[in-house]
Amino acid sequence: MFRSIRFPIATLVVWVLAGADARGQQLIEVGGVELRGAAQLVIPGGGTCNVAESDTSFEARQGNDGAPMDIWRLDFTVRNGSGRWLDHVIARYQIESEWPECTNWDRVTSTELTNVAWSDWASFIQRTGRNVVRPDEVLTESQYFIVLQGDPPPRFSNWSVDFDYAVNAPEAGAAAVAPVAVAGAQQPAGGATAEQENLFWQSIADSANPAMFEAYLEQFPNGVFRPMAQVRLADLREQPDVPAAGIGPIGITSHRNNQRVTSRIVEIEGEADPRGGSEISVLFNDDVQGVLLQDGVFRSAVVLRSGLNEVRVCQGDNCATLMLNADIEALGLMATLAWSNGDLDLHVETPSGDECYFGNTQVSGGCELDIDDLDGSNPENMSVPADARPGLYRFWVVNYGGGEGASGTLNIYRDGSLVESVPFVVNVGDGETVLSRNVNW
């Protein structure tokens, strides 16, 4: 059973005193899995603030030059108290820290710590695979911070945990479950119709990629094919690993974890073991982009939102996660189109009657097509700035050519939050409209 919880709540700092519980104070507990956080002052006066005269803000900050700085250690802990083995565990956290208003800092001679942060930080603890965390196992990650003496200590601000309880192989005959209606079934997410659900299911029914069935269950949580999707997903996750040397891990080579980026569109590149299959799924925010592994290398553009973004690259059950901090302007509206094959195009019409698409990629102050892709190997993305004219915006998808039978999803965001997710299968000819959605801004 999948468990997930996220708390973008008030900041918390836990002081650890001699003799106190070294695991710190509990942040959350879900299904027996605990997250704990602790902050400890480890080296008072462990450094001094250095403000260079070449710094353009020197006059305003020169009072900090030479000021003593303290070094803190923050411990983030995951404890599996559920009594069950866990699959696919990822626990995320963020730490807020006062910017010390220094150009850099000078280390005290006795201080030999490395990798000391001095600004906001985001990281995670991850175990990918089956039966990766045993009952009562504790996972811990520590990070050191340096702050000006007298400033507030670093503090946890956001935390979340996702995991699956370990599942056994399906019971004999379970694969033959018929697609019966689910009691209390609701309309699919995003207002999709039963016909759209059937088309979506037909497009993934024979897939060997677990991400496709995860996407179905997310889009259609009470869908008609839910029992079959759950059985198929469990079956794929329980398939034995490749013997002998095994499948090597996925490596993301284009960016480092927690890297700051200043572009809305970034290209993720990395390497994967060809023995794991040629299908790679790139998951970013609420979108999934399928790419092919070529000579052991994958590349895909992803669309980022302002702030912290998680990018996950999967080859079956084998996944790697990358956190990127996007220092970009927040948008008013954004639409992201991801699909499998053929040439589809994303259009938007503004309240002024202007249209953005591949033939007119930008309207000043109105809209911009960030990516134009020709075959579904990358997403297409449309941006509307936060100061754009209010009113009705119409987004639509056109089958420019060769897209009939392709499957995909159109996600629409307002103020950075997903407001509509529309899965689809193309059943119209070249040059015809696949779907259309109106959004008020």
Tokens of 303: 């669309």
What are the pLDDT digits (tens) for 83-138?
888 877 888 888 888 878 787 777 765 555 656 777 777 777 877 667 778 898 89
Query: Residue 435 half-sphere exposure, CB side, CA atoms within 13 Å?
Result: 22
- What is the residue extent of each domain of the chain? 2-165, 174-238, 329-441
Between CA 37 and CA 26 the distance in angstroms is 7
Between CA 322 and CA 370 the distance in angstroms is 22
Which of 322, 379, 281 has the alpha carbon at shortest distance from 123?
322
Which of 345, 394, 348 has the alpha carbon at shortest distance from 367?
348
Q: What is the pLDDT along the chain (441 residues), one digit of tens a residue?
A: 334 343 333 334 333 332 233 345 777 888 889 988 888 888 888 888 888 777 666 666 777 888 999 988 888 899 999 888 887 788 888 888 887 878 777 776 555 565 677 777 777 787 766 777 889 889 888 888 889 998 888 888 778 888 888 765 223 333 322 333 333 333 444 445 666 666 667 666 766 667 677 777 877 777 777 777 777 777 776 654 433 345 678 889 998 877 888 888 999 999 988 888 888 888 887 778 888 888 889 998 898 888 878 888 988 878 888 888 888 888 899 999 988 888 999 999 999 999 999 999 998 888 999 888 887 777 899 999 988 888 899 999 999 988 888 888 899 988 888 888 888 899 999 999 999 999 887
Amino acid, single-letter form, for residue 187: Q
pTM of structure: 0.48
Amino acid, single-letter form, for residue 315: Q
H/E run at residue 77: strand 68-80
Between CA 136 and CA 334 the distance in angstroms is 43
Between CA 83 and CA 88 the distance in angstroms is 16
Which of 278, 263, 292 has the alpha carbon at shortest distance from 377?
292
CATH number of 329-441: 2.60.60
Instruction: Indicate left, alpha or beta for 412 from its phi (over 0: left) and psi (-120 to 50: alpha).
Output: beta
318 contacts: CB under 8 Å, gap ≥ 6: 128, 129, 247, 249, 250, 272, 273, 276
